[in-house]
Amino acid sequence: MSIKNLFRYWRTVITVAEITLRHQWNDSFILFAVLIQPMVIAILALFMLRGTGDNYAMFVIVGSGLTGLWSSLLFISGNSINGERWQGTLEALVAAPLPFDVIIFGKNLANVVQSLLSMTASYLLAALFFGYSLEMTLPLLFFSSVLLSIFAFISFGLIIAPLFIMYRGIQQWQNAMEFPVYILAGFLFPIALLPGWTTPISYILPPYWAARALHETSTGAGDLSTIIFAWGMMLLFSFIALFVASKLFKLMLYKARVDASLNTE
Amino acid sequence: MNTISVKNLKRIYKTTTGVIRRKTKEVEAVKDISFEISKGELFGLLGPNGAGKTTTTKVLTTLLIPNAGEVKINGLDIVKDANEIRKQIGFIFGGERGLYWRLSGIDNLRYFASLYHIEPEVSKKRIPYLLDLVGLKGRGDERVEGYSRGMKQRLHVARTLLHDPDILFLDEPTIGLDPVGAREFREVIRDLQAEKKTILLTTHYMFEADSLSDRVAVIDDGIIVALDTPSALKKHVRDLSVVEIETFGIAEIVVNKIRALPFVDAVSTREQDQRQVLLVQTERGAEAVPDLMKSLEGQRVGRVTVREPTLEDAYVRLVGGKS
């Protein structure tokens, strides 16, 4: 999607996000993806890291929040496209004169924003039940990182959406796509622990730079220059993701019109 | 210039089965279709299930790419200029799908208005106007899941009129509606006709096509078998009468036996509760009844009537008694 379209259709993006949120909060799966699963991961990690200090706890909280964010994008955004297909609305969306990626951007915005609840829930869990004293080391830079991370996750999610348009059976592969990103993006442990050959893959993932900026600003592990570098890389790879997504959307929508896969009938 | 122009349209569906030894099967849904619709005309497309009506509509609404042929709407090409065409058209596919059931009627319309880039100030006025137009005034705040089928269809009409398109595609819009709902819906279509909208209507109901359409194309097995005004189409069967015979549990073999009789032009059956009504088209009219009864010996037969042919009979004759 082009930045020009994002500015041109910002009102549409907001309306789509608002209505998507209203629609989704009637579905109990949201509770699982946004609250229950990240809290289970946070509890496990906090038990494992007991006695290792407040900084590690903050790392876990941010990391488990990020897992919620990614799961939400992967499952809810992905399933929502198949849901649209089943309820017969996908054709109406595709037949609208608006670029389709603008609609998906709005849907992803809704999912990412609601996923921030994961991070808040993990934070409260660590503070209230595990007794950690959690102070944000660089609060202003942390919140700036949160805003940039929202953009990074939405953009990365846009690359996956076209696959859901094209392939009705892709849901079977969703689980396989969940953990590699947790690991490669360094949500719960540093990527330095992984084999060296995986590092370049991590570097091209916008969620990796988002996780790095969030971890560094919340635990105080980084200085201003490394944080700004992480922001720059996050934006660079997010724009690349938007560009790739716009090409994929055009290709997949054309293919879906050739293969008649926009509907279940 | 015609508003809609379809020349030699062809559309094939491919399905594949198997993982290792993949087999591809091709189905030619639309073989070769050509027609034109002028501005403000209501054009009916009639045909049995699987004839290619919905496929044609989906190509015209930019949802399917044709395999061959040229399709233009207001001079714009359906493949190259899909985005520009989408601003000018609206469509309704029959049935209850295509709406967000967990949202209210108003939220559905707000959502679709945003997809057509309608400014919120405009949609705030347009949505109540449309709800009023389709008879949903006062019900817009309710969730769609609580709507009746007819209300959902009317919400579809409101949705499709949000951006005030000049061209409408209505694919079996009254399917599944009760008679009152269908009649109300036809009134909405008449209102749209009065507004000089160009409309392509596909329907199974002959009465609907007869009463609403300026011209009708009968499509069968992917090709157009007749295209004319409803009154001209009826002339195809002017020389025939229709014998209606009420039967109970008639076997296909008996129907085929009647179809093979030399004085029978076409035969179709209509399910009515637990009865099957045989509709036999014949030049002999009432004189054919004794011979027909002879062929039905051993069958349980009810009322027998002879009547003048309708557009439905013309349609049955054109599609070879497949309905």
Q: Is B69 on the interface with A (CB under 8 A)?
A: no
Print burial letters for A48-87: b (CB count within 10 Å at least 16), e (below 16). eeeeeeebbbbbbbbbbbbbbbbbbbbbbbbbbbbbbbeb
Stronger pLDDT, B250 or A58, i.e. the higher one: B250
Chain A residues within 8 A of B97 when measuring between CB atoms: 87-89
| pLDDT at residue A5 in the model | 80
Interval B12-21: pLDDT, tens:
988 777 767 7
Interval A201-227: pLDDT, tens:
999 999 999 988 988 888 777 788 999
Interval B187-199: pLDDT, tens:
888 988 898 999 9
Q: Tell me the residues of A at the B interface, defined by beta carbons under 8 Å apart.
A: 9, 11-12, 15-16, 19, 22-23, 26-27, 87-89, 91-98, 103, 254, 257-260, 262
Which CATH superfamily groups domain B4-228? P-loop containing nucleotide triphosphate hydrolases (3.40.50.300)
Residue A74 lies in a domain: yes
Interval B209-245: pLDDT, tens:
888 999 999 888 888 888 989 888 877 777 788 899 9
Instruction: Provide mean pLDDT across the span A41-59.
Output: 72
| pLDDT at residue B117 in the model | 87
Going by C-beta distance under 8 Å and a sequence separation of 6 or more, which residues neighbour residue A41? A64, A67, A188
Please determine, for residue B292, whether its predicted confidence score (pLDDT) is greater than 70: yes
Please determine, for residue B263, whether its predicted confidence score (pLDDT) is greater than 50: yes
Please compute Rg for chain A using Cα positions.
Answer: 18
Sign of CA dihedral A93, A95, A99, A101: positive
Record: contact A254-B65, CB cut-off 8 A:
yes
At B315, is the secondary structure helix, strand, or coil?
helix
Query: For residue B74, which amino acid is it?
Result: N
Domains B4-228 and B235-318 share a fold: no
Chain A residues within 8 A of B83 when measuring between CB atoms: 97
Residue A264 lies in a domain: no
Record: contact A87-B100, CB cut-off 8 A:
yes
Name the pLDDT band for A52 (thresholds 50, 70, 90).
low
CA distance A16 to chain B (A): 6
Please identify among residues 152-171 of chain B the ones whose CB lies closer than 8 Å to any CB of chain A.
159
- Helices and strands of chain A, counted as H and E runs: 13, 0
| Alpha helices in A167-223, H assignment, sequence order | 174-184, 199-203, 206-219
Distance of CA B142 to the CA centre of its chain: 30
Name the pLDDT band for B298 (thresholds 50, 70, 90).
confident
Q: Is B276 on the interface with A (CB under 8 A)?
A: no
CA distance B143 to chain A (A): 11
Instruction: Provide mean pLDDT across the span A165-176.
Output: 74
| Sheet architecture: strand order including B42-46 | B76-77, B68-73, B4-17, B23-37, B223-228, B215-220, B42-46, B198-203, B167-171, B89-93
Instruction: Provide mean pLDDT across the span B125-135.
Output: 90
Name the pLDDT band for B62 (thresholds 50, 70, 90).
very high
Stronger pLDDT, A51 or A189, i.e. the higher one: A189
Rounded CA separation A134/A157 (Å) = 30
CA of B55: which chain A residue's CA is closest?
A260
- Domain range list for chain B: 4-228, 235-318
| pLDDT at residue B5 in the model | 94
Domain that holds residue A47: 3-259
| pLDDT at residue A134 in the model | 64
Interval B175-186: pLDDT, tens:
777 788 788 888
When the candidates are 3.40.50.10790, 3.30.70.1350, 3.20.20.120, 3.30.70.260, the CATH number that belongs to B235-318 is 3.30.70.260
| pLDDT at residue B104 in the model | 92
Name the pLDDT band for B319 (thresholds 50, 70, 90).
confident
Please determine, for residue A53, whether its predicted confidence score (pLDDT) is greater than 70: no
Residue A93 lies in a domain: yes
Residue A94 lies in a domain: yes
| pLDDT at residue B200 in the model | 95
CA distance A184 to chain B (A): 31
Mean predicted lDDT score pLDDT of chain A: 82
- Report the share of chain B in percent with pLDDT over 90: 35
Predicted structure pTM score? 0.79
A198, A259, B9, B32 from B35: Cα distances, Å: 59, 25, 9, 10
**Domains in chain A: how many in total?**
1
Tally of CB atoms within 10 A around A6: 16
Mutate to test the interface with A, among B15, B73, B101, B114 (most CBs of A within 10 A): B114
Residue A201 lies in a domain: yes
Please determine, for residue A155, whether its predicted confidence score (pLDDT) is greater than 70: yes
Instruction: Provide mean pLDDT across the span A159-177.
Output: 76
| pLDDT at residue B323 in the model | 45
Torsion of CA A233, A236, A240, A243, to 10 degrees: 150
